[in-house]
Amino acid sequence: MFKSVLVANRGEIACRVFRTAKRMGIRTVAVYSEADVDALHVREADEAVLIGPAPARESYLDGAKVLAAAKAVGAEAIHPGYGFLSENADFAEAVTAAGLVWIGPDPKSIRAMGLKDAAKQLMIEAGVPVTPGYQGADQSEETLTAEAARIGYPVLIKAVAGGGGKGMKRVDDPADFAAGLASAKREGAAAFGDDRVLIERYITRPRHIEVQVFGDRHGNVVHLYERDCSLQRRHQKVIEEAPAPGMSEAVRAAVTGAAIKAAKAVDYVGAGTIEFIADASDGLKADGVWFMEMNTRLQVEHPVTESVTGVDLVEWQFRVAAGEPIPLKQDEIRLNGWAMEARLYAEDPANGFLPSIGRLEHFVLPDDIRVDTGVEQGGEVSQFYDPMIAKLIVHADTREAAAAKLAEAAGEVEVWPVRTNAGFLKRCLEHPRFVAGDVDTGFIAAEEEALQPAESDEATLAALTLVAEAAADRVESGADRFSPWGGQPGLSYGVRLNAPPAATAWAQLDGRGVSAPVTPVETGWRGQGGAVAHVGFDQVQAGERLFGYQAVEDGFVLFVNGEARRVTPYRAAVGGGAGAVSDGSLRAPMPGKVVAAPVEAGDAVAKGQTVVVLEAMKMEHALTAPFDGVVESVAAVGDQVTEAAVLAVVKADA
């Protein structure tokens, strides 16, 4: 066994490989770009080497720099992780030529499976079922059009060197084929430097099923069962699980047998994944599963396979790369229970799933499940790299229990001010169709409306108790003068004859005005219509539920079912007659530019009328009047503003 390993990667996968290496007593070496100077994977390694500027092409994708770093520190082996250089056959050859151990398949295997058309032809020759289609050398528009007609619509045009959904176009009507072909070719050329395509029959209810395979240099090839990765958004995996729901022993035998054939056809060594597409229109059938492609590396979703088999796949990679045989025979690999993984992305589902970048000022993940991550509180989510910040992995006896456990974990995620998809993940996992196992790759698109966040009365109550207590603290400290006819931001009092003073809490929850009567209790405040109390420095109770929160400038961030909700107090008076007003502040939901202001100071506005329009992340956001009133102030068109900046103030009608 080699004594040191350099991981030619960053983030979560680098930390994951280091974890196994340290357990095995192997010295670890990290490489990093200038953007990752303070990254977690750099600190977790025994040694780290700077390899270039932030852009990946000048650092992590520069094989010469990575190899030079390995030689400089005396690393004996290189683990590529996934992405970046992991499927670069030229880099693999350079590593072995330099006398280092390459922890991956032979370059010839990478090349054999690197182009989709050549790989499909190889699989046909090996007796592996492939999706009906065309992968010929003739790339003329006439031939491709004729082949599409032969296959039958709908068809899928795919760049032969593609991946991640790039260069992939579905065409339903022959009249649209030419446009779809041109688009696929342009994307293929731009993303991979290769505009060649292949054509496949489009499966109307496709499921993505893949098999983990492993080979060694002693002629052994085994499978570690299947995973289902059908829950996808725009061809990107979101939630993965093992085993696949609805998988019979007959279908499992067919698909794993085909995977073994595929691996043997290219003399495969190390960890690899054979991906299949299955027709889910009438359940899984042995003759309805076809080879799609092979990933000649470790997969992002490998933890679910580890969870159901008890195998450390990275340890196996180390041992096989060092010349050892696979540690277990096929009949010794057992399938136990159910595992699921959710990919936590730094992205904003409410804003078209655009990446969200910045500093992780508050970053709390569940501590009772497996979490693979490469970031921590105080770290940065960079614009230069993939927005996946963590993987949440659970294991349970049944699929239903695993889904419930993972949904609960997603709901416990607390991240601010970077936005994440945690709430979206929770809603996917709790959707009745997903729970029933009725999932295909079109699930998210078909259920888009049902996967939108629902307003929570409990969240409103929790927000109100936070601002009520904060306001009361200010009164008690003398920061605000108490008046029975007025109040302070977040709380107002009214005098009632022959009764204690009434109190009302007022807040803006994500810019929406909310209010309710509240009563002081020993632990904080109680709201009308549901028990509410502040129970600790970082938790607030609403009814039977506890929510995490974080105090921020001008208010709080309330964490509800994986969502970060902005809570700010505003001034209001109740029981005081005609002078009752709210401060009516309209705040920017995110950094952006003011692109329109349809009203001016002094204009009368009605509740719901647009006051100012903010452009952020290539989308426009209209901020509207919270009530009938008069505009006191409004930002100027062209202003660049930060998140939570006051863009306009509306004064309530007298």
Instruction: Catalogue the active-site residues.
Output: 297
How far is the C-alpha of 562 from the C-alpha of 350, rounded, in Å?
13
The secondary structure of residue 320, as a DSSP letter, is H
- Rg over alpha carbons for the chain, rounded to the nearest Å, is 29
Residue carrying structure tokens 């102030």? 633
Q: Name the phi and psi angles at 140, rounded to 5.
A: -70, 150
* Total length of the chain: 654
Cα–Cα dist 615/592, whole Å: 5
> DSSP 3-state assignment of 89?
helix
| Token pair listed for 494 | 């009214």
Rounded to the nearest angstrom, the gap between the alpha carbon of residue 170 and the centroid of all alpha carbons in its chain is: 24
Residue 346 to residue 374: CA distance in whole angstroms: 13
Helix axes 107-114, 89-97, angle to 10 degrees: 170
Rounded distance between C-alpha atoms, residue 42 and residue 36, angstroms: 8
Cα(608)–Cα(611) distance, rounded to whole angstroms?
A: 9
Instruction: Give the integer Cα–Cα distance in Å for 616 and 635.
Output: 15
Distance CA 548, CA 632 (A): 35
Distances (CA, A) of 378 to 47, 381, 550, 557: 22, 10, 14, 17
Q: Give 287's DSSP letter.
A: G
Give exposure, 162-186, as e/b (b: 16+ Cβ within 10 Å): bbeebbbbebeeeeebeebbeebbe
Instruction: For residue 557, report the phi and psi dihedrals to the nearest 5 degrees.
Output: -115, 125
Distance CA 234, CA 237 (A): 8
Strands 133-134 and 47-52: unpaired
The pair of structure tokens assigned to 105 is 């398949």
Helix pair angle (177-192, 141-151), 10° resolution: 120
In whole angstroms, what is the distance from residue 623 CA to residue 644 CA?
12
Contact residues for 600 (Cβ-Cβ < 8 A; gap 6+): 631, 634
Reduced 3-state DSSP string for 619-639: EEEEEECCCCEEEEEECCCCC
Q: Report the C-alpha gap between 17 and 634 in whole angstroms.
A: 53
Question: Does the N-terminal peptide bond of residue 243 adopt cis geometry, omega within 30 degrees of 0?
Answer: yes
Q: What is the 3-state secondary structure (H, E, C) of 177-232?
A: HHHHHHHHHHHHHHHHCCCCEEEEECCCCEEEEEEEEEECCCCCEEEEEEEEEEEE
Residue 629 CB neighbour total at 10 angstroms = 22
Nearest to 563 by CA among 434, 457, 428, 410: 410
Cα 96 from Cα 253, distance rounded (Å):
36
Give strand ranges (E) for 312-384.
Answer: 338-345, 347-348, 354-355, 358-359, 362-364, 370-373, 380-381
